[in-house]
Structure 1
Amino acid sequence: MRKHLLNKRNKIFGHILFWMASIVFLCFLFFIYSREFNLTSVAKSVVINAGFAVAVYLNLNILIPRFLTRKQYIYYIFWLVVLLSFSSLFVQVLIVYPLRQFLEVSERLQSLSTETHSAFFFATLFYIGITTFLKLFKDWLSLQDLNYKLAKTEKGKLEAELKSLKGQLNPHFLFNSLNNIYSLSLINSEKVPDLILRLSDLMRHIIYESKDNFISLRKEIEFVDNFIALQRIRVAENTAINYEKPNITSSSYIAPLLFEPFIDNAFKHGLPGTENDYINISFSANEDWLDFDLENNFAEPENFDSKNSGIGIANVKQRLKHLYHANEYQLDIKQEESTYSVHLRLKLKDHGN
């Protein structure tokens, strides 16, 4: 409240200072023109500035908010001309002439000539132009400050949301992996120790290596290698799992843990147990883009929980939206009869965040 009153007081003081400077400036012009300085010059300067002030404040408080800010430019120009005309007449007729004896106005000024009206018209236009520019510049500065605050708030909100999404992703992934280990431990499989080691590598990647918004593409592909190897252990030997990847030699970066939910979804909800079960996973990359393709067959079970099944994929969509511009990624997910496919195209970054 105190800050608001202080700003209002400073604003009023600024306006008073502006008009005092204007009065002094006109007095100086009158002195140069007549080579004398007296009360008449001061009175004329005050009267003329009163006319300017009427036009300026009507423009600032009525014409600009009602027409200019709403982009009604024709209406604004029309009413501005009307305002300038009436303001000029106001100075000449309503102020100068009733006080002409006191002001000792010259005969030329008393004649209401067209030349005098034009002089007041363009002088008023000059003042309106200056004050309009100052107002628009002030509004622009306020808008920039507001945009900065909004961007800062949005950035903080984004960072909090990404942290929350990663927090949801890690338990989701851990839950699925532990289920795999538990299933094998029930039959005393010799594969359990190797599975635990691979899970340890995967969790290290999630907890330590993927803490940034962008990580090395090479590390992320290594994570996918381990994840697919982990998933291979628990599926039937006759399942066709085809995995292709490029030889990563560049130092490109991508957002971490984008592929795991799709691959996990293929192993968990695909592979209905037929002789033709398959999962095709492939990566292809050039200097600027990475393409991820996945396709698998599936059969939706009767007790399928669609509400909780898409948590990981929903998180991927949100992270893509937050971390990449709209022209930096493309995600296509298709489900046709018994085939599920995913295509994700990503713009490669040249540095991490």
Structure 2
Amino acid sequence: MRPVFPVLKKSKYQRVFLHILFWISVLTILTIIYGAGMPDYWLTIGIVALFMPIHIGYFYLIAYVIIPRYFDRKKYVQFVLLFLLIVLGSTLAFRLMEILVADPIIYNAVKKNDPTFVWRKLEGTFREQLAKPTYLISAFEQTNIFVWIALSVKFFKMWFDRRQAAMEAELNFLKGQLHPHFLFNTLNNLYALTLKQSPQSPGVVMGLAEILRYMLYEANTEVVQLERDISILKSYIELEKIRYEERLDIHFSINGMAPEYRIAPLLILPLVENAFKHGASEQIGQAWINMDLRVKSNALKFKISNSKPETATPDDRPHHVSIGLANVRKRLEILYPSAHNLKIMDEEDVFAVILEIDLDKRLEI
């Protein structure tokens, strides 16, 4: 199972290391860019290092002060105004560093090697140098290019984290829907057996307890063993067999099961539950449900088909958009966005669902 954008999930120390590595890379790149016209690279490193506090302060002020206090709290006007103020201040700070420190050092170093060297950039008064549009634009570009790259990564990380949180919340909501929905249906089955004073009622209670234990405690993980998920599915089928007895013909074939296969829990059970709910109507007479599960090289294919009543009742009409099927569809779109195929066929006397999943391509939330 491969996570999407795994580099985004880092520990505190890894993030610190990546930040240090980024700024060292910036220092190296700028040294290479500006070193060609300098007497030596050590001088270039020193000059570039003079400006690094401006770049670093600019980035962290916006990324860890302005964004959390204003952007995250949806104070967008204040955020934009402060952002522009910091951009302007950083540009002016960069230009002042050039005029007062960097340019004189560069000029004196070059002058030693070439006494005839004249640098027009230094012409004019301090105010005239500060106000020259060409050098202000150059300072703006040099100040912002790498900081804006870093901020773009920051905003992407924020978007990604929020997307992950939203997906996780939706998954928890969808999984939460399964529990009461399943419990309600199974309690109905148990109620029907108690009305008949069936001696099998205690067995149903035990089977229900096992399934609920799995739902509440084991299915809270991102993935489970496919074998375990299918064993719960078999337990559910056994409960339904008790309820319907000889009136329902059930066939379930399994091929290719292996301990190493993993799957997001409770994706198949709602499909089976849906088939029992709509395919075992008393109006059908001799009802039937056929299930076939095949797994090969992490490719799972599950096909389930069931009989339908000749005259649909209000409960049967929304067969293809039941809570269980809608829930499964949404969870598949989140967990296996490009690694699944869910095909629903609603014909006159047969309802069928074919689910195909590449188990190795689950999106990790």
2:156 aligns with 147
**AA in 2 matched with 1:221:** I
CA distance in 2, matches of 1:22, 1:40: 15
| 2:332 corresponds to which of 308, 312, 320 | 320
2:267 aligns with 258
2:306 is the counterpart of 1:296 = yes
2:347 is the counterpart of 1:336 = yes
Report how far residue 350 of structure 1 moved. Answer: 9.6
CA distance in 2, matches of 1:50, 1:21: 13
* 1:34 alignment partner, SS class: coil
CA distance in 1, matches of 2:312, 2:241: 22
**AA in 1 matched with 2:345:** K
1:310 aligns with 322
Task: Specify every segment of 5 or more residues in structure 2 that has no aligned partner in the other structure, as ranges.
Answer: 1-61, 67-81
**Residue correspondence of structure 1 range 59-208 to structure 2 within 5 A:** 132=141, 135-208=144-217
**AA in 1 matched with 2:335:** L
Output the aligned Cα RMSD: 3.5
Report how far residue 31 of structure 1 moved. Answer: 6.1
Report how far residue 337 of structure 1 moved. Answer: 1.6
Report how far residue 236 of structure 1 moved. Answer: 4.6
- Cα deviations by residue, 1:264-295 (Å, 9 ceiling, x for unpaired): 11111113443452110111111311111101
The answer as to whether partners of 2:256 and 2:294 remain within 8 angstroms in 1 is no
**Residue correspondence of structure 1 range 202-241 to structure 2 within 5 A:** 202-241=211-250
**AA in 2 matched with 1:234:** R
Task: Specify every segment of 5 or more residues in structure 1 that has no aligned partner in the other structure, as ranges.
Answer: 59-127
* Structure 1 stretch displaced more, 7-16 or 233-242: 7-16
**Residue correspondence of structure 1 range 38-53 to structure 2 within 5 A:** 42-43=122-123, 53=132
2:282 is the counterpart of 1:270 = no
**AA in 2 matched with 1:34:** P
CA distance in 1, matches of 2:333, 2:120: 70
Report how far residue 57 of structure 1 moved. Answer: 5.0
2:103 is the counterpart of 1:23 = yes
CA distance in 2, matches of 1:301, 1:56: 79
Report how far residue 296 of structure 1 moved. Answer: 0.9
CA distance in 2, matches of 1:41, 1:209: 71
* 2:123 alignment partner, SS class: helix
The answer as to whether partners of 1:30 and 1:41 remain within 8 angstroms in 2 is no
CA distance in 2, matches of 1:163, 1:54: 56
The answer as to whether partners of 2:294 and 2:301 remain within 8 angstroms in 1 is yes
| 1:55 corresponds to which of 109, 130, 134 | 134
CA distance in 2, matches of 1:212, 1:41: 64
2:330 is the counterpart of 1:345 = no
* Structure 1 stretch displaced more, 139-148 or 17-26: 17-26
TM-score by length of 2: 0.66
1:84 aligns with none
TM-score by length of 1: 0.68
CA distance in 1, matches of 2:336, 2:279: 29
Higher relative contact order (CA 8 A, sep 6+): 2
**AA in 1 matched with 2:300:** L
* 1:295 alignment partner, SS class: strand
- Are residues 48 and 26 of structure 1, via their aligned partners in 2, closer, same or farther at CA, if it must alter by over 3 Å? farther
1:33 aligns with 114
The answer as to whether partners of 2:251 and 2:289 remain within 8 angstroms in 1 is yes
**AA in 1 matched with 2:180:** P
CA distance in 2, matches of 1:330, 1:43: 70
- Are residues 275 and 175 of structure 1, via their aligned partners in 2, closer, same or farther at CA, if it must alter by over 3 Å? closer
**AA in 1 matched with 2:334:** H
The answer as to whether partners of 1:181 and 1:195 remain within 8 angstroms in 2 is yes
The size of the alignment, in residue pairs, is 280
Report how far residue 210 of structure 1 moved. Answer: 0.4
CA distance in 2, matches of 1:132, 1:10: 11
1:279 aligns with 289
**AA in 1 matched with 2:352:** S
CA distance in 1, matches of 2:354, 2:122: 79
* 1:245 alignment partner, SS class: strand
Report how far residue 184 of structure 1 moved. Answer: 1.1
Report how far residue 182 of structure 1 moved. Answer: 0.4
CA distance in 1, matches of 2:117, 2:254: 92
* 1:282 alignment partner, SS class: strand
